[in-house]
Structure 1
Amino acid sequence: MRTSPMLIALLGALPVFSIDLPTGSDAPFLEIVNEKTCIIGNSVWNATLSGSYARPIYYNGKDIVDDATGFYLSYKNSAGFPWLAPEIVDAGDDWIDIQFTNDIARFHWVIHRSLAGAYQYWSNDLYYSGTEVQDSTVEFSDGTYISNYDWATQMNIPEARLWGVYGDDVGCWFIQPSQEYVNSDQLKQELTVHMEAQTGDTALLNMIGGGHYQLNVDRTYEKCHLWGPWLWYLNDGSLSDAESRTEQEISAWPYAFPNSDISAGYQSRAGSVTDRIITSDSHAGDTVSVFLGDNNDEESTLNQYAGYYYRTTTDEDGYFTFDNVRTGEGSPLGDTTTNFTHFDIAITKKDKIDLGTYTWETQNRTKIWQIGTLDRLPCEFAGGSGPYGHALTDDAPADLTYTIGSSKTDDWYYVLSNDGEWTMERTPVLGLLLPWLLTQPDAIWISRRMML
């Protein structure tokens, strides 16, 4: 545990002559212990970084890692990210930006005076593959399971800005004020927390460029591609405090760091990008999911990964707005059950960009019947609204009869997985009963909805 932050701040200042560092007994610091070990932190917390791990980590005098592995970074085909070449590359009156560099990338800790935690971001140098992890799922003697997927979630929705582990007067959180550096569209799902099978440690994850719930995609990133910044936050275990801090971080986005020397494109933004979607029969495109993504159609929106991405939903009049959009070219895509795509959208550095109005050609179809809302979500169907878990499909019926016009939406199960017959019937009209028979000889996953 560190007891002399003033001394540490001075030691951290020695290698960096051109940067004015914050001063005072509560100043953030970097202490170089030797070529393989350093200590970073402030008056509230500090961490010892050595090899590929950060441990111990003291918060208000308590080692919050204890016997666990500690803080580490992992990426495909690697033995971890070694904490090499620490240096302070930027600073203000109350903060320092500490950079660690290896032959793959640069990882930054931005530590503020008296802040319980640190902002973090990753800048790509040579690495060109995303993180893909397959951890074990454990079955207990009572037939229940625990899996690394149990705490997965949709990542690109407003609610997915905060996750963590907390208890025993300590909370450890990741706060994500923006999702522009998260790959994929609104349907992207990813892991957040799980248990390490070999050690029993609770693992708090921040998966950037993750590929869970997707087909394999060969990934190549541009040099200096930036993930982050996000905030790694410590508190006394209060969820309400973490939620309040999340709102504070969202209001502060985009941050004043990294500066243009560290990441040239981060500060180049349009304040807002607005547009409207209407259909060709003059209806407003309300509740349409809109995704501003890569300016090409080589990848599905779910598989897009190499750029910066923005997501929103149109209001009842068809209007939508993206805030703080990085400059460049993109392609907005509207999505209900079909896609409307427009390419070559130029995003320039100005306060506001109005793209005008897009007209979406309708398919001129007449709805005969429909099960559930066309939102690509399983929540209305049986088995589709509970928490994540292994073997949920075991509860799906092998045989099911659904009658259009009289059965309820939640009589339809969200997944077809067991051998049997699913029959769909229509309410008798003029004495006729119209059946549809769906036979499933093998296990088939039905993604969110089956339309016949």
Structure 2
Amino acid sequence: MRFGPSSSLTYAPQIDDETWIIGNGFWNLTQGRQYATKLWYKGKDRVGDAWGHYVSYNGAASDLNWTSAAIVESGSDYINVKFTAKEVDFHWVIYDDLAGAYQYAINHALPVLGEFRTLWRLDNTSFPNGKTNIKDGVLPPLDEYVTATNVQDETWQKADGSFLTKYDWSAFVREQEYYGVYGNEVGSWYINPGKDYYNGDHLKQELMIHRESRTGDAVQLNMIHGTHYQAVSSDVFADGKTWGPWLWYLNDGSKSDAAKRWQKEQSAWPYKWFKDSAYHSRGSIKAKIKLSDGRPAAGAAIFLGDNHPNISSLDQGRDYYYTTYADNDGSFIIKNVRNGIYGLQARANGGRLADITTTFLLNDVVVKKDRQTNPKDLLWEVADNKNRIFQIGKFDRQTTGFKLSGPTPFEHARIAEVPANFTYTVGKSKSSDWYFGQSAVGTHSIVFLISSIPSSAASARLTVSLAGFSSGSTSDILVNEQKIGNISSLANSQDTYRGATRAGEWRLLEFSVNKDGLKKGENRVDFTVTKNTLWRGWLWDSIVLEWV
């Protein structure tokens, strides 16, 4: 059955049983069973020989196959076109006066998965450049890949020793405003206000754009449920789980125009035009957290997620998630939260909480429509730090402040620049002298003095906080040449070998140190790498030794 336009500008004719055309007076495309091609905008086909637009899960293993399409809603200036697959309904909301479309996806039968995405693969001559909030520039030309050597997944080494890799175009998803690919006459942008449908917390990172090395396509990714830089991210979704809406936006390549559009979309979210009662059933939460030592939870990273969680905040992804940061007095507010029962978490984010190793958790937080939830007397139990012998780095689950951690959070092979052997002397060295990661066979040592051993202490504890871990390298941990543990059999969070230098999946390791293993005078902690795999190792967050 054919379906036609609802106005003089928006239209969606069906060509045959597996071909539809959608668009308006600015653009149109041809949607097939899997791929949308022939994107006509400003008088040119902006897909060309590229693959076009598609929706897939678990990588490229399962592209959705559209079995039918229909206009399910229309008005005087828009149509809502639904494409149906057995797993998901995918919608394009097309307004007469909009170059682009709002998009959203509704689950019906997706399997347990880690990755669910929409994306464009576009003509590389129209879109030679890419932009995220941290990287803006020319995507590597295809001919550079042809003359380079493949050294791992989508990573190539050029004759001059430098690297080409799609992972250099990764970013933190909740920090994005607008991102995409662009040229001198056209830009294609994703604008995702709200972001509550994304999986993960503040430190969720994803691949955003890149050059496809085999074809040269300009790739614009919308990883609405991703697995990059995580050890575990596998979720079961309820029937009706909705991702979006977000805006796919076309313009003349102007970044300033895309920035203005971001401001407009952010101020309009949640979208009033979206006709879904659950989407509009929202309340808010306002609270203040105080530490048990009397300090306010200043600058704490606040996460509203799964109730009674048994996985990390980064790995949560089956429902809807909200993030913010506390003010200097420990107070925060999160608006436009979907109705539900949540677990509220807070963690140190450096600053005035740089010494806090624990996480605050309050379960059974109920959010109701048009109501503000105000949990009272939130007390975060923290340890007394008077018995701390030393601390290197601040607790924020990132490598911030360590040597080679900046200026950008992604660069392939930067971890190979870290020397195999290095000594840090407490009291003389600074945190900025400690390297952001470790991988090569050798020893990173911490030398420290103990003036006296408290009689009240039964032992000591070494806390090793890792900002990320890529399996393949192993380290013994020694205190005064006595082995107390190792860094070894942790789940792979795919970070260091994908160029992450700031964060991956956070791990907190604790090791007991016998009291008689320490002495007055000079002592030493060694992290000795005994097995190494190139570019694989760990990222440091903080290291603490204290009496207990």
TM over 0.5: yes
What are the residue-to-residue correspondences of 1:66-85 with 2, within 5 Å?
66-76=48-58, 78-85=61-68
97, 106, 128: which one aligns with 2:89: 106
Change (3 A) 1:353 1:173: same
Q: Distance in 2 between matches of 1:78 and 1:420?
A: 40
Which residue does the alignment assign to 1:345? 365
Which residue does the alignment assign to 1:319? 331
TM-score, structure 1 normalization? 0.89
What amino acid is aligned across from residue 223 of structure 2 in structure 1? M
1:16-44 CA-partner distances (Å, limit 9, x unpaired): xxxxx4x34xx322111111111111111
Change (3 A) 1:421 1:356: same
8 Å CA contact 1:333–1:341 kept in 2: the answer is yes
8 Å CA contact 2:233–2:316 kept in 1: the answer is no
What are the residue-to-residue correspondences of 1:146-225 with 2, within 5 Å?
146-156=164-174, 159-225=175-241
8 Å CA contact 2:358–2:382 kept in 1: the answer is no
Which residue does the alignment assign to 2:269? 253
Structure 1 position 296 matched with structure 2 position 308: yes
Structure 1 position 226 matched with structure 2 position 242: yes
Q: Which runs of 5+ in 2 are unaligned?
A: 118-151, 349-356, 453-519
1:207-241 CA-partner distances (Å, limit 9, x unpaired): 12111111244421111100111111111111111
Which residue does the alignment assign to 1:5? none
1:351-408 CA-partner distances (Å, limit 9, x unpaired): 4322233111121222443323322221311121133122221111101111222223
Which residue does the alignment assign to 2:537? 445
8 Å CA contact 1:132–1:211 kept in 2: the answer is no
Structure 1 position 402 matched with structure 2 position 414: no
Larger deviation, residues 101-110 vs 193-202: 193-202
Q: Distance in 2 between matches of 1:116 and 1:370?
A: 53
Shift of residue 186, structure 1, vs aligned partner: 1.2
Change (3 A) 1:105 1:184: same
What amino acid is aligned across from residue 42 of structure 2 in structure 1? N
SS, match of residue 194 in structure 1: strand
Q: Distance in 1 between matches of 2:184 and 2:449?
A: 57
Which residue does the alignment assign to 1:86? 69
Larger deviation, residues 309-318 vs 418-427: 418-427
346, 352, 356: which one aligns with 1:334: 346
Q: Which runs of 5+ in 1 are unaligned?
A: 1-9, 14-20
What amino acid is aligned across from residue 68 of structure 1 in structure 2? A
Q: Distance in 2 between matches of 1:11 and 1:361?
A: 61
Which residue does the alignment assign to 2:401? 380
Which residue does the alignment assign to 2:115? 131
8 Å CA contact 1:403–1:427 kept in 2: the answer is no
Change (3 A) 1:31 1:417: same
8 Å CA contact 1:145–1:389 kept in 2: the answer is no
8 Å CA contact 2:286–2:332 kept in 1: the answer is yes
Shift of residue 316, structure 1, vs aligned partner: 0.3
What are the residue-to-residue correspondences of 1:58-69 with 2, within 5 Å?
58-69=40-51
Structure 1 position 309 matched with structure 2 position 288: no
Larger deviation, residues 176-185 vs 403-412: 403-412
Change (3 A) 1:408 1:47: same
Structure 1 position 140 matched with structure 2 position 140: no
1:154-208 CA-partner distances (Å, limit 9, x unpaired): 222xx31321111131111110101100001112111101222321212110112
Change (3 A) 1:135 1:126: farther
What amino acid is aligned across from residue 395 of structure 2 in structure 1? L
Shift of residue 439, structure 1, vs aligned partner: 1.7
8 Å CA contact 1:132–1:212 kept in 2: the answer is no
Q: Distance in 2 between matches of 1:308 and 1:79?
A: 24
Shift of residue 269, structure 1, vs aligned partner: 0.8
264, 281, 290: which one aligns with 1:278: 290
What amino acid is aligned across from residue 329 of structure 2 in structure 1? D
SS, match of residue 266 in structure 1: helix
SS, match of residue 247 in structure 1: helix
422, 426, 429: which one aligns with 2:448: 426
Q: Distance in 2 between matches of 1:103 and 1:428?
A: 66
Which residue does the alignment assign to 1:359? 379
Which residue does the alignment assign to 2:4? 12
Structure 1 position 269 matched with structure 2 position 282: yes
Larger deviation, residues 278-287 vs 76-85: 76-85
Q: Distance in 1 between matches of 2:389 and 2:375?
A: 35
Q: Percent identity?
A: 38
8 Å CA contact 2:115–2:226 kept in 1: the answer is yes
Structure (1/2) with the larger strand percentage: 2
SS, match of residue 538 in structure 2: coil
Larger deviation, residues 237-246 vs 307-316: 237-246
Q: Distance in 1 between matches of 2:153 and 2:526?
A: 38
1:309-350 CA-partner distances (Å, limit 9, x unpaired): 000110001111111000011110011232111111111112
The CA RMSD measured in Å over matched residues stands at 2.2
Shift of residue 425, structure 1, vs aligned partner: 2.2
Which residue does the alignment assign to 1:7? none
TM-score, structure 2 normalization? 0.74
Aligned structure 1 segments of 4 or more residues deviating by more than 6 angstroms: 427-431
Change (3 A) 1:357 1:110: farther
Shift of residue 74, structure 1, vs aligned partner: 1.7
SS, match of residue 381 in structure 1: coil
8 Å CA contact 1:146–1:389 kept in 2: the answer is no
What amino acid is aligned across from residue 100 of structure 1 in structure 2? F
Q: Distance in 2 between matches of 1:11 and 1:127?
A: 27
Q: Distance in 1 between matches of 2:165 and 2:116?
A: 16
Q: Distance in 2 between matches of 1:402 and 1:354?
A: 46
What amino acid is aligned across from residue 300 of structure 2 in structure 1? V
Count residues in correspondence: 427
What amino acid is aligned across from residue 372 of structure 1 in structure 2? G
Shift of residue 288, structure 1, vs aligned partner: 0.5
SS, match of residue 73 in structure 1: strand
Change (3 A) 1:116 1:200: same
What amino acid is aligned across from residue 543 of structure 2 in structure 1? M
What amino acid is aligned across from residue 26 of structure 2 in structure 1? V
Shift of residue 253, structure 1, vs aligned partner: 0.2
